[in-house]
Structure 1
Amino acid sequence: MTTAYDVQILSTGGYVPGDPLDNATLEKYVGPLPDDVLDGIQVRTRYWMIDPATGRHVINNSRMAERASRQALERAGVEPEELDLIVVCTATPEYSLPNVATTLQHYLGLETVAAIEIRGACAGWVQALDLARRQLEDGTARTALVVGSEAGSPILAPHFLGKDPASVRMRDRLTLYTFGDGAGAVVLRAEPAGTPAGTAEPSAFVNACVGGLRKPGMEIIGGGTDVPQAEQLRRRQLLQMKVDVPGTTTFGPQVFVRAIQEMARKDGRSLGEFDAIVLPEGNADYFAAEYEAAGLPAADIRALDGRIVENLADVGATGSAAVPLSLDAGWTSGRIRPGDRVVLLGIEASRYVYTGLSVTWQAPLPA
Structure 2
Amino acid sequence: MIYSRILGTGGYLPERVVTNADLEAFVDTTDAWIRERTGIERRHLVVDGETCCDLAERAARRALEAAGVSAQEVDLIIVATTTPDQYFPSTATILQRRLDIHGCPAFDVQAVCAGFVYALTIADKFVRTGSARRVLVVGAETFSRLLNWEDRGTCVLFGDGAGAVVLGAADEPGIIATSLHADGAYKEMLQVPGGIGNGDYANNRVTMKGNEVFRFAVMVLSKLVAETLAANDLTMADIDWFIPHQANLRIIQAITRKIRLPMERVVVTVADHANTSAASVPLALDQAVRDGRIQRGHLVLMEAIGGGFTWGSALVRY
- Establish whether residue 23 from structure 1 lines up as the match of residue 20 from structure 2: yes
| Match of residue 320, structure 1, among 263, 278, 281 | 278
Following TM superposition, by how much is the alpha carbon of 1:208 offset from its aligned partner in structure 2, in angstroms?
A: 1.2
Contact 1:89-1:125 within 8 A present in 2 as well: yes
- Name the counterpart of 1:186: 165
Following TM superposition, by how much is the alpha carbon of 1:202 offset from its aligned partner in structure 2, in angstroms?
A: 6.4
- Establish whether residue 137 from structure 1 lines up as the match of residue 115 from structure 2: no
Following TM superposition, by how much is the alpha carbon of 1:287 offset from its aligned partner in structure 2, in angstroms?
A: 5.3
- Establish whether residue 85 from structure 1 lines up as the match of residue 70 from structure 2: no
Following TM superposition, by how much is the alpha carbon of 1:199 offset from its aligned partner in structure 2, in angstroms?
A: 3.0
Contact 1:278-1:309 within 8 A present in 2 as well: yes
- Equivalent-residue separation in structure 2 for 1:108 and 1:144 (angstroms): 13
| Match of residue 241, structure 2, among 251, 276, 279 | 276
- Name the counterpart of 1:208: 181
| Match of residue 259, structure 1, among 208, 224, 246 | 224
The within-5 A match list for 1:57-206 is: 57-156=48-147, 159-160=148-149, 168=150, 172-191=151-170, 198-200=171-173, 203-206=176-179
- Equivalent-residue separation in structure 1 for 2:80 and 2:117 (angstroms): 9
Following TM superposition, by how much is the alpha carbon of 1:88 offset from its aligned partner in structure 2, in angstroms?
A: 0.8
- Equivalent-residue separation in structure 1 for 2:159 and 2:254 (angstroms): 26
- Name the counterpart of 2:191: 219
Following TM superposition, by how much is the alpha carbon of 1:49 offset from its aligned partner in structure 2, in angstroms?
A: 0.7
Structure 2's unaligned 5+ residue stretches are none
Following TM superposition, by how much is the alpha carbon of 1:34 offset from its aligned partner in structure 2, in angstroms?
A: 7.1
- Establish whether residue 49 from structure 1 lines up as the match of residue 40 from structure 2: no
Following TM superposition, by how much is the alpha carbon of 1:97 offset from its aligned partner in structure 2, in angstroms?
A: 0.7
- Equivalent-residue separation in structure 1 for 2:49 and 2:35 (angstroms): 27
- Equivalent-residue separation in structure 2 for 1:66 and 1:287 (angstroms): 29
Contact 1:123-1:346 within 8 A present in 2 as well: yes
- Equivalent-residue separation in structure 2 for 1:155 and 1:283 (angstroms): 18
- Equivalent-residue separation in structure 1 for 2:296 and 2:131 (angstroms): 27
- Equivalent-residue separation in structure 1 for 2:246 and 2:233 (angstroms): 25
- Equivalent-residue separation in structure 1 for 2:249 and 2:21 (angstroms): 25
Deviations 1:3-52 (A, max 9, x none): x21222111000111232111112223242373453111110101113xx
Question: What do you get for the CA RMSD once the two structures are aligned?
Answer: 2.0
| Match of residue 309, structure 1, among 247, 262, 267 | 267
Normalised TM-score (structure 1): 0.81
Following TM superposition, by how much is the alpha carbon of 1:282 offset from its aligned partner in structure 2, in angstroms?
A: 4.8
Counterpart of 2:251 in 1: which secondary structure? coil
Q: Aligned letter for 1:351? A: G
- Name the counterpart of 1:195: none
Structure with max Cα Rg: 1
- Establish whether residue 355 from structure 1 lines up as the match of residue 312 from structure 2: yes
Structure 1's unaligned 5+ residue stretches are 51-56, 161-167, 192-197, 362-367
Q: Aligned letter for 1:82? A: E
Contact 1:271-1:304 within 8 A present in 2 as well: no
Deviations 1:282-336 (A, max 9, x none): 57753545777xxx4xxx32x2432211211111101111111111111111111
Work out the number of aligned pairs and report it: 318
- Equivalent-residue separation in structure 2 for 1:261 and 1:142 (angstroms): 31
Contact 1:280-1:309 within 8 A present in 2 as well: no
- Name the counterpart of 1:333: 291
Following TM superposition, by how much is the alpha carbon of 1:351 offset from its aligned partner in structure 2, in angstroms?
A: 2.7
Q: Aligned letter for 1:310? A: V
Contact 1:9-1:186 within 8 A present in 2 as well: yes
Counterpart of 2:185 in 1: which secondary structure? coil
Contact 1:276-1:341 within 8 A present in 2 as well: yes
- Equivalent-residue separation in structure 2 for 1:75 and 1:288 (angstroms): 31
Contact 1:125-1:321 within 8 A present in 2 as well: yes
Counterpart of 2:176 in 1: which secondary structure? coil
Normalised TM-score (structure 2): 0.93
Contact 2:221-2:255 within 8 A present in 1 as well: no
